[in-house]
Amino acid sequence: MALRYENSSFGWDPDSKRKELFDKLSRFILVYKEGSTELLAFVMFRFEFEVDEDVIYWQVASSAQGVSLGRRLIGELETLCRMYKMKKIMLTVLKANSRALEFYKAVGFTMDPTSPGYVDSDAEEESESGSEQEIVDYEILSKLILP
């Protein structure tokens, strides 16, 4: 994770990441190898109120990639969302992480209106041609949770 952040516009700040992990709102789902103390995957999430919507943010350890846990973890988060009346799951993904982008889109995530690259079709028609958009190296994705 550190290497991806170091090569991004976010940069790597271990103190900031530590504060995020140990924030009083942070919660975790931990997945251990059966019969072992080896941690295979974790999801860190927070219940937050974002732009008039209740959401869960999540992060997945790189060790969870490619071991068929992602869909199961998404399912667990969806269950938590329904249980606590949350309306969507949101996440930030680096564009350079094409594998993660493909996975998130395959499980129903789309670009969130809060993402810097989001273009509303109505706003696009009204905007002046040739206007410049901010170029960023990440996307904010979300998945609506149906009751």
105, pLDDT greater than 80: yes
CATH number, position 122: 3.40.630.30
pLDDT reported for residue 108: 95
pLDDT at 83: 94
pLDDT at residue 132 tops 70:
no
Please state, in angstroms and rounded to a whole number, the distance separating the CA atoms of residues 48 and 56: 6
Q: How many domains does the chain have?
A: 1
* Residue 141 phi, psi dihedral angles, 5° rounding: -110, 155
Residue 136 to residues 10, 22, 94, 118, Cα–Cα distance (Å): 10, 27, 9, 11
* Close Cβ partners of 110 (under 8 Å, ≥ 6 residues apart): 141, 142, 143
Per-residue model confidence (pLDDT) at position 67? 73
pLDDT of residue 36: 92
The whole domain housing 110 covers 2-144
Span of 23-27, 108-112, 131-135 with lowest mean pLDDT: 131-135
Higher pLDDT, 57 or 19: 19
